Structure 1
Amino acid sequence: MTGPTVAAGHTVGVEEEFLVAEPDSGRTLAAGPKILARPPVGLPDGALLHAELRETQVEAATGVCAGEADLRAHLLAARNWLVEQATAVDALLVASGTPPLSFQSVVDEPSERFARIDYLYAGMVADYEACGCHVHVGVPDPELAVAVVNRLRPWIPTLLALSVNSPLWEGRDTGFGSWRMVQQSRFPGSGVPPYFADRADHDAEVARLVECGVLVDERMSFWLVRPSPTLPTIEFRVADTAGTVDEAVLFALLTRALVRTTVLDVERGAPAPRPGEQVAAAAVWSAARHGLEGDGVDMLRARRVPAVQLLRDLLHRVRPALEETGDLSSVRRVLALIRAHGTGAERQRRAAARYGIPAAVRMLAAETAGHSGEGWEQSAAGTRSRNDGGDR
């Protein structure tokens, strides 16, 4: 490739949002500021830790990574540091898209931007502790970024179905794989982005939404994939935060491969598909509801299809890109683990049903700290209660 497409789809970075929870009850705990109080030591170059909207949350961001080993090192270092600091204040670091048990957190002195968000969205964010896994794939050319996003839209629901990790909310099973996505759908302009003629069209639409008073600023759009407003990347905001590092790496490798594949479509002049807005909304809803366990919606044919078939279609599409980057074997390995042990949502649901929600939260914390999905049942059973009885 020549010109600006040479660098497109080569680099990747991940932002992971986490919950902070109390070990015995499993309820979220407003200990984020304490966890972030000490300057981090030993993180790779470019890796950062941040406060989030609520004091019951923290965020870790990798630096710009060129490959799987680099990315994995960044993710592990940040998680290890946050787990260590959480343990020091008698808290758990928990990777879940929504809190199974919540404690409403009020920030005494929020940043100016967070204060504006609280004011604008009022009750919608009063109990909003949703956590996502955001992947940035390098695409330096802003026009190319919009052209790629136009062609990514049919695959967004399948990425959600694979990443569902938020079935529990306020002590109950919601019946959804991603309750986080249901909560996010309340915000203006959420879901699959519309088609844009070019970058100017995209920027004008964002500016209109700001002018209409429904976005705090140009950084605030809620589309599930977008050209980043601050970085030379395409940002995927569709996934629930990943239970394990393996799953975070899987999602990053798949999205990078999807961008690399789509860049080639743009280069050869393949037209962007134009699925209907209602079909797109139905596809996102179905992915949030069923994950990989039921039907999804094929946006191009506007009909129900088993979600696992849509995942196979996605893998078939990106396989050449995964082979080119040497990532195919890693993707297959983690997908085999998910087939054997379930998505994050399935694992949460089983643990909560068998051992109670507080034990399920401790299982999530064990996975977050580095245990693989294989040991989830033993983790939950072994920490069923630190009190004198069951957790139910």
Structure 2
Amino acid sequence: MNTPAVENTEPAVEQATEPSRTLGVEEEFLVVAPETGASSGRGPAVLAGVADVDPQHSFHPELMTSQTEAATGVCTSSAQLSAQLRSARERMSRAAQAEGLALISSGTPPFPGEPGAISPGTHFTRIAEAYRAVVTDYQACGCHVHVGVPDREQAVAVINHLRRWLPSLLAMSANSPFHLGTDTGHDSWRAVQQSRFPGWGIPPRFRSAAEHDEHVARLIECGVLVDEAMSFWLARPSPHLPTVELRVADAATTVGEALLQAVVTRALVRTAQRELDAGREAPEFDPRLEQAAVWTAARHGLDGPGIDLVGRRRVRSAELVHRMIRWAAAELEETRDLATVRKLIAGLLHCGTGARRQRTAAARGDRALLGALQVTRDERGAR
């Protein structure tokens, strides 16, 4: 059984009357030995077990063969998204068990073990050649959220308004305190690992999609990015889809936590659109404080200080999350998600983020930690 947690209450694109109501989630998982939690390079075998066509889900390899990814289809309600998240986890969990393996959802591998190999394919090979030792043990897993927008121009303008909230979204999701058997002292070691890549963090404030694209092209020409799909910012216009893509969150232990990231992100996008419609431009921040805010969120999660980028001062991380929800409350109310979000956040503050729950489980031994992170075939009975 898993430790108590908040309850559980690259997507395809379809046309919608209002794009900003559409959302989808990509979840990355670690493939492990079920007895020890050690990483297994048999991710391709798990993916082969879910290879049948399913319009609601798609399943993909990740950088290392010890990782897999499940993506929902396009959703318009939190209930629809929750059902698809749960279904995808159940399908992939069945495929892993059929191979004598297990899936765990953690931002970094908590147990000692070999990382497996770089997944086959030209794209992954180019990444390995470009970044060498930075990726040799890189098994970072995240929860990526896509929210529909009318066009790339609006995507860039929306992201300008989201920049102040990215550290809070990270703190709320922190779920990687351990790395290969060692407590790192950070709540999100995944974020620290990602900081080794060029340009990682809060994106610059761009005036237009053209300026954004020119900046990315310059980084590619300079040789620090493999291609336009490899920018490492925590939020970006999707290179392939008409969406704003947020890649700030650690892998979510539960469906409820993945759902929380998604519906809050959608509300933030919709609130940013309202600000733009009212002619209110996004504020600018000190880049050094931006870096400090992300680092602080990775270090402490919700159980410590955060940095208020507007006020330029230290504030409790939990208070910044409450401010974020207040900023987006009208849109959460509009989509009938406000009560659910408040309940899920109350659960996080009471039971702790994934990082705190991992440490609580680890105090009881490796078996307890493995049980706390394992993706089960039926989460409704285990959460």
User: The residue matched to 1:19 in structure 2 has which SS?
Assistant: strand
Structure 2 residue aligned with 1:242, among 228, 241, 252? 252
Quote the Cα distance in structure 1 between the aligned partners of 2:112 and 2:380.
24
Which shifted more, 362-371 or 52-61?
Answer: 362-371
Aligned to 1:122: 132
User: Any conservation in 2 of the 1:293–1:307 contact (CA below 8 Å)?
Assistant: yes
Give the structure 2 partner of residue 356 of structure 1.
365
Counterpart in 2 of 1:153?
163
**What is the CA distance between 1:359 and its match in structure 2?**
2.9
Q: Deviations over 1:338-387 (max 9, x none)?
A: 1221111110011112x2234302221056851588x6xxxxxxxxxxxx
Report the equivalent of 1:204: 214
Corresponding residue for residue 98 of structure 1: 108
Check if 1:25 corresponds to 2:31: no
RMSD, aligned CA = 1.9
For 1:26 and 1:109, locate their aligned partners in 2 and report how far apart those are by CA, in whole Å.
20
Aligned with 1:13: secondary structure? strand
- 1:227 lines up with 2:244 in the alignment: no
Alignment check: 8 A CA contact 2:42 2:65 kept: yes
Q: Does 1:172 align with 2:212?
A: no
Report the Cα offset of residue 224 of structure 1: 0.1
CA separation of 1:77/1:367 partners in 2, compared to 1, >3 Å: closer, same or farther?
Answer: closer
Q: Which among 325, 333, 340 is matched to residue 350 of structure 2?
A: 340
C-alpha change, 1:197 and 1:42, in structure 2 (3 Å) is closer
Confirm or deny: 8 A CA contact 2:90 2:377 kept in the other structure: no
Cα distance in 2, alignment partners of residues 371 and 58 from structure 1:
22
Q: Which has the higher contact order (CA 8 A, sep 6+)?
A: 2
1:90 offset after TM fit, Å?
1.5
Q: Which runs of 5+ in 2 are unaligned?
A: 1-14
Q: Distance in 2 between matches of 1:256 and 1:60?
A: 20
Count residues in correspondence. 369
Moved more, 120-129 or 67-76: 67-76
Amino acid across the alignment from 2:350: A
Which amino acid in the other structure matches residue 346 of structure 2?
A
Write the deviation string for residues 305-344 of structure 1: whole angstroms up to 9, x where unpaired. Answer: 0001101101111110010001112112212221221111
Q: Residue 140 of structure 1 aligns with which residue?
A: 150
Within a 5 Å distance, the mapping from 1:365-376 to structure 2 comes to 365=374, 370=379
1:18–1:58: 8 Å Cα contact kept in structure 2?
Answer: yes
Hey, what does 2:47 align to over in structure 1? 36
Counterpart contact for 2:177–2:355, Cα < 8 Å: yes
The answer to whether the 8 A contact 2:64-2:118 is kept is no
Q: Give the whole-Å Cα distance in 1 for the aligned partners of 2:175 and 2:258.
A: 12
Q: How many angstroms apart in 2 are the aligned matches of 1:108 and 1:289?
A: 28
SS in structure 2 opposite 1:194?
A: coil
Question: C-alpha separation between the residues in 2 aligned to 1:5 and 1:368?
Answer: 32
Q: CA deviation at 1:268?
A: 0.9
Question: What 5-or-longer segments of structure 1 have no aligned partner?
Answer: 376-392
1:284 and 2:306 matched: no
- Give the letter aligned to residue 364 of structure 1: L
* C-alpha contact (below 8 Å) 1:8/1:260 kept by paired residues: no
Residue 256 of structure 1 corresponds to 266
Q: Compute the TM-score of the two structures, normalised by the length of structure 2.
A: 0.93
- Give the conservation status (yes or no) of the 8 Å contact 1:139–1:145: yes
3-state SS in 2 of match to 1:151: helix
Q: Which of 186, 196, 204 is 2:196 aligned to? A: 186
Name the amino acid aligned to 1:337: G
Matches within 5 A, 1:45-56: 45-56=55-66
Specify the SS of the correspondent of 1:33: helix
Q: Matches of 2:376 and 2:253 in 1, distance apart?
A: 6
- Going from structure 1 to structure 2, the CA distance change for 1:109 and 1:234 (only over 3 Å counts) comes to closer
Conservation of the 8 A alpha-carbon contact between 2:57 and 2:84: yes
Q: Tell me the residue number matched to 1:378.
A: none
Tell me if the contact between 2:150 and 2:242 (Cα under 8 Å) persists in the aligned partners: yes
The 1:317/1:205 distance shift into structure 2, 3 A limit, reads same
- Aligned-partner residue type, residue 69 of structure 1: A
Question: Taking structure 1 as the reference length, what is the TM-score of the superposition?
Answer: 0.90
8 Å contact 1:258–1:318 — kept in the other structure? Answer: yes
Runs of 4+ in 1 over 6 A off after TM superposition: none
Would you say 1:10 and 2:21 are equivalent positions? Answer: yes
Q: Is the 8 A contact 2:16 2:22 kept in 1?
A: no
Question: Would you say the 8 A contact 2:93–2:375 is kept in 1?
Answer: no
Percent of residue pairs bearing the same amino acid type: 50
2-side partners of 1:363 and 1:232: how far apart?
36
**1:110 maps to which residue?**
120
Aligned to 1:388: none
Change (3 A) 1:98 1:41: same
